[in-house]
Structure formats: C-alpha cells, structure tokens
C-alpha cells in the first residue's frame, strides 16, 4: 500500500480517485487551492469512506508550500490533477493557462525533485490528439493542439516525459481521458461546473433540473449515423479505478507511458440524450444549433493498451453514467 498525494484532489476526478484509492487501502492526502472545487468535498469524502484524509489548501505554484508538504510526509507517488480545463477560457486568457497548468506543473515537479519523489500519474486528455484523423484513436496517433488548453496538456506531457528521460523522475503515466461523466453512486460528490456548463452531460443535467430551458445540440450535419457528434463517455468511477491501477503499476515500473482511458465505444449526442431520458424518465427539450468551432465529428478511444498495461477496462454502462449524473445533480441541487 502506498502514500499518495493528489493535486486537485477535491475536484471532480480527484475526489472520485481518492474514494477508489482509499477503498484499496492506500493512504491519501489532498492538495487543492479550491479555485474550482467546493469546500464541502472533504467532509463528503469522509462520509463516503469513513477516512479523514489530510487536506492541504495550497496552490501548486507555491513551490515552497508544496515542498513543506512533501517534507512532512513521505509520498511514494503524486497524481497530478490540478489544472484549468475550459477551452474557451484558455483562448481568452492564454497566460493564465500557461501559468496555472504549465508553471504550476513545473513548480510541482521542482518540489517533487527536491523531495526525491520519482513517480507521477498525470491527468492528460484526449484533446492532445486534436482533430483525430480516424477512430478508434490509439496512443501512437499524431499529437496536435487545436487550442491553448490542449497546448498546455501537450507541454505538460513533454515536460514530464523529459524528466523521466533525464532520470529526474523514474516513472510517469500520462493518462489521456476521453469524456468522463457520472458521479459516485452515493450522490455526495460529482462534477460541479462554475457558471454555464460547457460540457454536454452537466448541461443535460441542468436542463433536466429545469435550471436551463433547453439543450442546444451543436450541429446535426456531421458525417455520423444521426448527424450529431460522437464521443467516448466513461464513468468517473471507472476512471478513478484506472488511476489506482496506474499508480500501482507505476510503483513497480520505470519509464513514461501514455495510456488512453475510454470505453472504446462512441455514442452520439442524440444517443446520450435518449439514454438520459430513458434512464431518468425526464424529457429533455432540445434544439439544433450551429456546430461548435473546433469540434471533431467523432472521437473515441482504442483502450487496448490500458487493458494490457494496467489490467483495466471500463465496466459501467451509459445507463450507469446517466443515472449517477442525475442522482448527483438531483441531490446537490437540493442542498444548493
């Protein structure tokens, strides 16, 4: 069993990963500046897991503060989630994204080097494939940034890979997520976007909760069976379990490994909408709008490497994803 620090540990994927790691007997500490995470998350994690894990309210750009955390407890590995992730915001404010994502990662890596921590699992994204030439996408597909957010993910992947190559780190897993959705089945933690959601599932949930009038489908003239965009949605608890597998494999291996995390099956916007309606019994008003600039028609993973390297495959279904997303929305909407 290992002691692991999770940067961005109170966020959507970080908090679910904390649950999964604790369930497997690991020791977990969270680091978060709470810029995009709720302070209600740590007590809710305790309610789910019955474990009171340490929470450090620190910004990863504060190298000295991170060094002090590393000096106070011996961590075997870091899982690095802390980052900004809104495509539009990244184009409007590139310096902010370079600062938080790139300089933040540099600061974290500097503190890790100082503490002699050689293993990192990094929260990357399928966005590094840009507009994919064909699907399913394997890890050897060309890498290409189509926006500043994607560029920062590519730079962070390169920085980490270079530190492994030069022996400063021993092991890195670059986990390229497709479309994480769903929530912990307790309904106590989930995705809580600030302002108007830009991603499909949180927007769908807010329409279902009657917080928004109707969903706009961004284009129905793509070269897909029903004309709407196809993505690889995966349940956040499956994703969390993949992080456990990655960190456990990382403890016994060396080198940099980029690994796709997806189900391998694509679903269209229309399919997701109907699955949500059938699962929840709630009708979703929608209209067809223009294509969103930068959207690929189809994007889904070849998840074969995750199976061979990590022994991991996604198990939860689209129905699980819709049910758990809605349960979280329903319960959290009540407490708001």
Catalytic positions are 149
Which of 199, 220, 313, 317 contacts ligand UD1 by CB under 6 A?
A: 199
Window 38-57: residues binding ligand UD1 (CB under 6 A): none
Burial 85-108 (b: 16+ CB within 10 A, else e): bbbebbeeeeeebbebbbbbbbbb
CB of 269 to ligand UD1, least distance (A): 5
**What contacts 99, CB < 8 A, 6 or more positions away?**
61
CA atoms within a 13 Å half-sphere pointing along the CA-CB vector of 159: 19
Task: Give the separation between CA 180 and CA 260, rounded to whole angstroms.
Answer: 12
Three-state SS string over 181-196 comes to: ECCCCCCCCCCCCCCC
Strands 119-125 and 171-177: what pairing? parallel
**Is the Cα dihedral 51, 104, 179, 265 positive or negative?**
negative
How many chain residues are in contact with ligand UD1, going by CB under 6 A?
22
63 binds ligand UD1 (CB under 6 A): no
207 binds ligand UD1 (CB under 6 A): no
Of residues 143 and 168, the one with the C-beta less far from ligand UD1: 143
Give me 33's structure tokens.
Answer: 């500046």
Query: Which of 7-15, 164-172, 214-222, 234-242 is the region at the interface with ligand UD1 (rule: CB under 6 A)?
Result: 214-222
CB of 253 to ligand UD1, least distance (A): 27
235 binds ligand UD1 (CB under 6 A): no
CB of 244 to ligand UD1, least distance (A): 22
198 binds ligand UD1 (CB under 6 A): yes
Nearest to residue 24, comparing CAs of 275, 182, 209, 248? Answer: 248
CB of 275 to ligand UD1, least distance (A): 13
Residues binding ligand UD1 (CB under 6 A): 85, 87, 125, 127, 149-150, 179, 198-200, 203, 215-218, 229, 231, 269, 292, 294-295, 299
């Amino acid at each position: 069993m290992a002691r692991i620090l999770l940067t961005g540990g109170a966020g959507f994927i970080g908090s679910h990963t904390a649950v999964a790691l604790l369930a497997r007997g690991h020791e977990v500490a969270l680091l978060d500046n709470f810029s995009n995470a709720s302070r209600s998350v740590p007590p809710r994690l305790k309610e789910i897991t019955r474990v009171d894990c340490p929470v450090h309210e620190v910004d990863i750009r504060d190298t000295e503060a991170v060094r002090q955390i590393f000096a106070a407890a011996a961590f075997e590995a870091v899982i690095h989630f802390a980052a900004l992730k809104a495509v539009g915001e990244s184009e409007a404010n590139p310096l902010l994204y370079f600062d938080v994502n790139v300089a933040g990662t540099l600061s974290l890596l500097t503190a890790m080097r100082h503490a002699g921590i050689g293993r990192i699992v990094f929260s990357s994204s399928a966005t590094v494939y840009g507009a994919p030439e064909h699907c399913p996408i394997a890890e050897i597909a060309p890498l290409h940034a189509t926006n500043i957010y994607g560029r920062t993910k590519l730079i962070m992947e390169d920085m980490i890979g270079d530190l492994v190559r030069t022996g400063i780190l021993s092991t890195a897993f670059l986990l390229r997520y497709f479309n994480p959705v769903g929530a912990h089945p307790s309904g106590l933690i989930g995705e809580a976007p600030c302002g108007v959601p830009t991603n499909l599932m949180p927007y769908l949930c807010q329409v279902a909760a009657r917080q928004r009038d109707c969903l706009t489908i961004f284009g129905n003239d793509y070269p897909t069976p029903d004309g709407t965009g196809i993505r690889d949605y995966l349940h956040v608890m499956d994703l969390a379990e993949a992080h456990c597998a990655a960190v456990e494999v990382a403890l016994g291996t060396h080198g940099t490994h980029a690994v796709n995390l997806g189900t391998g099956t694509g679903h269209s916007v229309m399919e997701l909408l109907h699955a949500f309606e059938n699962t929840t019994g709630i009708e979703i008003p929608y209209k067809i709008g223009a294509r969103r600039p930068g959207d690929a028609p189809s994007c889904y993973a070849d998840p074969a490497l995750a199976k061979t390297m990590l022994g991991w495959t996604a198990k939860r279904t689209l129905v699980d994803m819709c049910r758990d997303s809605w349960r979280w929305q329903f319960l959290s909407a009540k407490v708001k």
